Structures are given as C-alpha cells and as structure tokens.
Amino acid sequence: MTNGTDTANGFRADHPRAQGVASDRQEREAGRRPVTSRDLLDLRFAGDPRLAPGGDRVVWVERWIDADRNQYRSNLYAAPASGDGVPAPLTTGPGSDRAPRWSPDGRWLAFLSDRPLPPDARPRRRDEPAASGGGPGAATPAARPGRGGEDKPRPQLYVLPSGGGEARLLTLFKQGSGPAVWSPDGRCVATIVQVHPERGLEATGDPEPGEGDPYRRFNRDVKVVRRLRYKLDGVGYFTEHRHHVVVLDLGPDGAHLAAPSSSEPPGDGGNGAARDAGTGGPGGKGAAAAAAVPGAEAHAAALVPLARVTAGEYDVRAVAWMPSGRELVVVTNPHPDADRQPWTDVYLVSLPAAGQEGEAGAGTRAGAAAEASGRLPLDLSRDPLPPGVRKLTSSDLDVYEALPSPDGRWIAVRGQDARRYRAYSNTHLYLIAADGSQRRCLTAEADLTVGDESVNDVVGEAGATLAWAPDGSGLYALVSRRGEVQLYWFGVDGTIRPLTGGPQVLRGISLDREGRRCAYLRLTATDPGEVWVADLPSLDEPAAAPPAAAARDATPAGPGASAAGAAAWQGAARNGHPVLTGRRLSRANDGWLARIQVVEPEHFTFESDGNVLDGWLIRPVGFEPGKKYPAILQIHGGPMAMYGYAFFHEFQLLAARGYAVFYTNPRGSQGYGQAFCAAIRGDWGNRDYRDLMTFVDAVLERYDFIDRERLGVAGGSYGGYMTNWIVTHTDRFRAGVTMRCVANEHSFFGTSDIGFYDLFDLDLPPWEDPLRYLEMSPIHHIARCKTPLLVMHAEVDLRCPIEQAEQIYTALKVLGVPTEFVRFPDESHGLSRGGQPWHRVYRLDRIVDWFDRYLKPEPAPAAGRAEERAAPS
C-alpha cells in the first residue's frame, strides 16, 4: 500500500475513533472544562463530503494539526451512508490528501496529494544518472518554494480503486495539479494546471532555465512586473505561468492506470516531448492506445496521455463537462486587459473531431497556426474565436462556477453582477441555455445570495455549492440568509423551496446518481462541523414559492421591511415544504466536545435605520446572575460576509476567560439582500458604523450584567478597518484589537493585491478625489483616538499590507496612546483561520492578554496564556 494504508472498502472497528467512545463518555460524566487557546491544536476540520454515485458511502477530507511539526495534515475518510459503522481513513502516511472526486461509475476515486512521489514514477532529468534501486526512503517530492524559502511539495492527481488497493499517480506537473473533473463516461479527467507561455507544460525534474548561466541563475528571484494584478494573498507573486485546461486520458476501463513499473526517463526529459509510444506508457501499455480526446499524447508531466485544451495570455477559473463528453464549459476572462475588467465569461468549447488533433508542442507561441485552425489547444482570446468555441455570456457577470444540466439543455451559473454592484452584489443563480438563446436569473426576485457567506475560524475544505437533480428539473444549492446557510431547491420552472431550516451552516453538498441522498457538512455555533447525509424528499408535488411580497419583506434592506416578512422564508421549510432530516457520519470532534465547555450564543433582533438586524451574544463561562462582566464587540471582515451559526474557537475562548462576546451583521454584510449589501459601497464608516453603535446600545439595554465601562472591540480585515474607525470616532470602548486592518484607503489603493478594486467601488482613483479617500481613512482621524489599541498583522499579508498597520502603530506611539504591535512573520491575511498553528495560538493569547490588561480590575490568572512570549522591541 502506498504511504501506509490506502484502502477503500474497510470500516475498521479497531480504529481509534471506536476505541475512544468509552473514554469520551467518562470525560463527559466527569464534566467539561473551559476552553484554552491550545485546545485549537486538538480540533479536527471535516470538509468536502462526496457521496458515492451508488449512494452507499461518503468520502470526505479530514484536516488536523500536527503540533510537533507546526503544520496541518489531511487525509480522506469514509463511512457508510447508512450511518452504521465507524469512519475510517482511506489514505494515511506523509503528505496531505484532499479534493476527492468519484468517477461517474463509482469505480475510482480521484484526489489531490502532496505526498512524496514514488521513485519509480518520478521523471528523470537528462543529466541525472539512472536509478539503482531504492525504496520508499528514496521518494522525492515535487517541490515548490514555501514559507521561509524551504521547499514544499506540489499537489498531484492520484486515483484510488473503490474496491481497495494502491493509489495510482496520474500527474507530474511541475507547478502541481488542480482537482479532477471526470468526463461523463469516466474515461477522462479534466483539470486546470499552470502553463508557461514559452516552455509549455513543465514536469517535475525539468531543469530551471539558465542553470548553466550564473547571470540567469542568480537573478531568478528578480520579479519583472507587467500586469496590474501581479500578486495574490496566500499565493504570492504571479509568474509568467497561466492557468489552463488539460484533459487526461485514463484509457478504456482505466487501461492506462496500471501502476508505473519503470523509472526510465520518459521521452527526451520533458518540455512537451512525447514518450516512446511502445515503452514509455504506464504498465507497458505506452501511448499507442486510441486516444479518447484527439490530440492526447504522451507527456513527461503525466503518466497517462494528455491533451491541452486552452492556451493564451489569460487564466481559466473553472471547467466542467457537457453530458455528451465532447464539449467543455470553460469559465475565464480572456480580455487583453482582464485585470481592469471585473467580469468572467462562460465559453462552450467543442473538442475536435478525429483528424483535427494538434501537434506535439502546440500551445507554445510557435503553435499559433495550429491553434487558429481549431486544433488543440485553443486560444479563447482570439478574435474571432477559434472554430468550435462559443461565448455564452455577455461580459456582465463575475462567474464563479458553471455546471451543465444532465440533459445538456442548461448551464447553471453562480456569479455576481459585475457591472452594477461587483463585490457588493448578491451571488445569483442563473440558467443559461446551452445554445446561448436565453438567460434567466432564479434568485433576483427572491433577493437571495447563493453560496456559503458565513465566517468562522475552523475552516475545512469547502466542497460544492450546487448540484443538479438527475432529471434536470432543477438544482439543489446552498443559500446564505441571516446568519444561516441552508439547502434550497431551485426548479427550472422558477420554483424555490427551502429544504432545511434552523440555526446551522451547511457546506459542501453532494448527491448520488439517482438524486435520492445528499451528503453535506453541518456546522453550528457549538459544533465545529461534521459530515451528515440525508434522504432527499420527493419534489414531484407542486409547491408555490413564497409570495413576492413576502420575499421582498424577508430581506430587511430598505423601507417597508418587516420582521413578519423576514420570517416568511425562514418558516417556509416548516410550513408545507419538505424538510431534510439527516444522520451524522463523522465523529471528528466528539472527544473534544466531550471535555470542553462550549456556550450556546443567544440570538435576538434589533432595528437600525428601519432595518431588522440579527445579533448574537455569548455569555461568560460560569455566568453568575447579579455579577457585572466585561464584554467585547467582534466585527467580521469582508465586509461582504456574515456572522451566524458557525463555530468560533476565538469567541468561546474569550467567553472562557470571563467575557461576554457579542456580534452582528451591519450593512454591507451578505445574507440580507442586495440593497443591504450595497448600502456601504464607496461609503465605509457611515451606515455600518451607525448599525454597530445601535447594536451596542441594544446589547447594553438587553443585558444588564454587562459593565458598560468595560467594553472592548476587535475585528480583522474590514473588521480591523471598523475597529480603527470606531476608536477614532468614539471613546466608549476601553480597549481595542485591530487585526490585518485597513488604515489608509489612499495607500491601500496601490499596495493591496485588490486595492485597485476601489476604481469600481469609489468610481474614481485617489489622485482624482484624494479628499474622499482620506476622509474614509481611519488614519486621517487618528488624532481623536484615546483607546488603548493592540495592532496585530501578518508580515506577508498582500490583501491588507502591513504598511497599513505600521501607519496606525506609528501614529499612536507619536500621540502617546497605549499600543503594541505584534507582527507575524511568514503569514498571510488568513492567519486567524489558516496560519501556522502555533502562531494562531500565540495570536489568541495576545488578544486575551490585552483585554485582561484593560478590561479586568485584577490581573487575570496565567492559565491559557503563552508560556513564552517574544521580547518587546
């Protein structure tokens, strides 16, 4: 077995999860204790559930923290969909496995893994001596530069037989592979990979250009920037590579999937050269078998034949197969100035018929003539488009995904209004006719946003948002509303039905081939998330959507909104509409929850400027009536996101330390309709500030145990901006913590990876209206600040660059306001939810310490704080 155990048909009763049941019960009986910062290290994060086509079992990704190595690991787990049996790992060993994808017939499970490559599969460079044996210890990772300059392996595609056996390597892409997208017949896999404009596809082991030239070798780290968008937080600085579609041919009945048996170098060592057709293929089969996609050929970057489908100076965002298996749906923006055009389009790409296949090396600039004739790969930026390519949208949407219906009539598109609202748009669900004749929006009248817009700090793999019914009559989709994320039905006929309800956040839906069952991830405010499965109800009986008036009133985004209307959609799933009842499959955090005391948030509503908003409050652990407690206002980032019923370890930690924690969704948040989200477009610090201050007033009026003289405020990203804005506009808070913040909109425009988006949000660049940018900047009002403020920031944050925090900190030091600056090296904007584990623990300790210092009358006990602190500088 590769890397320990790669089984797909066993659910072992001797698994530690089964052995831990008795001890968990004993801990539960002994009582739970308050959570600490280090308890984060013991949480497990389930995600991306995938139901087998036959509906008999579910596979998901389970992520956990290896505290000794200060890193995250993940493996694939499985359990019977019946709910019987104990979850068991499908993959083990070094590396992380994710993105499981069943083949349509259920025979194979494709997944991504950054495990070390087996030595007999690794392509050898031309100047490398032949292998003289070697076992698992000789395995070599396909590497990439990581934090601090060390090499990190790139993920490659593997397939695992569903009946058990060894995981088989598919790809050797130098830059790594994207997730698998299976063709309808299960023979091919499409994926998105990085392609160099000159060198084409590159394989692991390919030499870096200019290795023999010191001038080129020692200047390889120099960045020459030509694009407007040249960096991305969490990714880094862009190279010349572009993301394009390739198709891998697994062969009839998986004939090309035989385990590699030779470590001889394929072909001439890479750069697009074909392997020897008689000897280089997997299992001795070579590349001589008839290709499923004309143009597929042997390549050093894959262990099966591949065909490049797209090429050019643009990036592909998503790809899907049409039911015929002869066309691909491609989401991209091939505009020559794409960085300044806030849209993406949907293209239908016909794969060439026999005889039109491309030539070896096509897709580099030397292959332009072949591309123009309709041969693969195709350049979608050409005008006119290559033969066999049709554009289905009108450059007015920002499309996130496109999913064809099983009958091929429609393409479901999830995206935003790129022209009018851009990032402040609801995420709508559209139906586009495959022939391009019509387009309908299924969500506009109901004013719904499709997708999971909730925030939390226990992030796992997200999974799918949309799933077609097998008969093509409609889609199942996740919808974010008022802090909840629920499953809805959207019929092709326009019918909308909520299928779930209650205080929960659902993520990652997956159906079986008959559409009888649905797997999903379910989070609550007291549960970090587990995998569930439910039997889908019959939708044959007609059911009208809630009346238009109720749909309008359900979204308190403008005049006339009412609480009664807001309940219309909320109650629809319980008033004559089918409701799912599921069964839990995973047990990722049973032991954790058995020993940790978690407090259920209290929900209430309040009004602000005529809008009905949601608020939540977590009482301190060990709450005693009659006692006064300090309280902390938390503000989410985005701002186009929402708080709600997802678990927050940070909030539970503050409650365990004796704080009440309260939070809401001010205007600008998602889940409350279009007008509500767009209310602060180009106008931060106005309506949102009023909503937050009204919320504080409502909390103080409702909860008399809160000491109004001991209030704190904290937030990250946009929440950091609002924290900065609040402490420069009011003195009602005794302490604040600003994290990954925005301080100066003027400088943010030129330093953030998305700063130039203000061109769309404020309509003018800062040099044309500098006063407007400055008036919206907290740094412009910093002289008013009297509140002690802890400034926390990641040093490799490209979204809100650290210069934003430096401006706030320097100004406060000059003004003599109490402040500290905590800088996290080698961390990006996502530190709080995906940063290095021990950095996350240290971050939590510093937050608690700061609030203890200013909000508690007595020094707090040291329990739960960092044992060692960095010396101040």
Which of 244, 299, 636, 829 is labelled catalytic? Answer: 829
- Tell me the pLDDT band of 291, cut-offs 50, 70 and 90: low
Q: Dihedral sign for Cα 814, 816, 817, 821, please.
A: positive
Of residues 182 and 149, more confidence is placed in 182
- Whether 507 shows a pLDDT value over 60: the answer reads yes
Using CA atoms, how far apart are residues 682 and 454, in angstroms rounded to an integer?
A: 23
Domains of the chain with bracketed CATH: 599-855 (3.40.50.1820)
Of residues 185 and 17, more confidence is placed in 185
Q: Stretch 344-351: mean pLDDT, rounded?
A: 96
pLDDT of residue 540: 67
- Whether 120 shows a pLDDT value over 90: the answer reads no
Residue 401 Cα distances to 415, 488, 515, angstroms:
7, 18, 21
Q: Stretch 664-669: mean pLDDT, rounded?
A: 99
Q: Dihedral sign for Cα 678, 683, 684, 688, please.
A: negative
Query: What's at 509, amino acid-wise?
Result: I
Phi, psi dihedrals of residue 445, rounded to the nearest 5°: -65, -40
pLDDT of residue 151: 57
Share of the chain above pLDDT 90, in %: 72
162 catalytically annotated? no
Preceding omega of 342 cis (within 30 degrees of 0): no
Q: Average pLDDT, whole number, for the chain? A: 85
pLDDT of residue 724: 99
| DSSP assigned state of 117 | B
- Whether 536 shows a pLDDT value over 80: the answer reads yes
Q: Which helix (H) or strand (E) holds 19?
A: helix 16-30
- Tell me the pLDDT band of 29, cut-offs 50, 70 and 90: very low
**Residues 592-649 pLDDT 10s:** 999 999 999 999 999 999 999 999 999 999 999 999 999 999 999 999 999 999 999 9
Query: Nearest 5°: CA angle at 496, between 492 and 501?
Result: 140
Task: With CA atoms as reference, report the closest residue to 296 among 281, 313, 318.
Answer: 281
Pairing of strands 484-491, 496-498: antiparallel
pLDDT of residue 570: 38
Using a 10 angstrom Cβ sphere, with 0-12 exposed, 13-18 middle and 19 or more buried, the burial of residue 161 is: middle
Which of 350, 717, 747, 832 is labelled catalytic? Answer: 717
Residues written for the chain = 873
- Tell me the pLDDT band of 539, cut-offs 50, 70 and 90: confident
Contact residues for 444 (Cβ-Cβ < 8 A; gap 6+):
426, 428
- Whether 752 shows a pLDDT value over 70: the answer reads yes
- How is 548-568 classified by DSSP, letter by letter? HHHHHHTS-SSTT--HHHHHH
Q: Collect contacts of 489-495 with beta carbons under 8 A, ≥24 apart.
A: 489/539, 490/429, 490/442, 490/443, 491/539, 492/405, 492/410, 492/431, 494/440, 494/442, 494/545, 495/542, 495/543, 495/544, 495/545
Using CA atoms, how far apart are residues 760 and 418, in angstroms rounded to an integer?
A: 10
- Tell me the pLDDT band of 277, cut-offs 50, 70 and 90: very low
- Whether 517 shows a pLDDT value over 90: the answer reads yes
Of residues 254 and 354, more confidence is placed in 254
Q: Stretch 139-156: mean pLDDT, rounded?
A: 55
97, 76 Cβ separation under 8 angstroms: yes
- Tell me the pLDDT band of 258, cut-offs 50, 70 and 90: low
792, 739 Cβ separation under 8 angstroms: yes
pLDDT of residue 541: 52
When mean pLDDT is compared across 162-171, 292-301, 333-342, 381-390, the lowest value belongs to 292-301
- Whether 339 shows a pLDDT value over 70: the answer reads yes
When mean pLDDT is compared across 149-163, 198-212, 403-417, 499-513, the lowest value belongs to 149-163
- Whether 371 shows a pLDDT value over 80: the answer reads no
pLDDT of residue 333: 97
- Whether 839 shows a pLDDT value over 50: the answer reads yes
**Residues 757-809 pLDDT 10s:** 998 888 899 999 999 999 999 999 999 999 999 999 999 999 999 999 999 99
717 catalytically annotated? yes
Of residues 551 and 408, more confidence is placed in 408
- Whether 123 shows a pLDDT value over 80: the answer reads no
182, 105 Cβ separation under 8 angstroms: no
Ranked by mean pLDDT, which of 143-152, 160-169, 569-578 comes out on top? 160-169
Phi, psi dihedrals of residue 91, rounded to the nearest 5°: -130, 145
Neighbours of 752 (CB within 10 A): 23
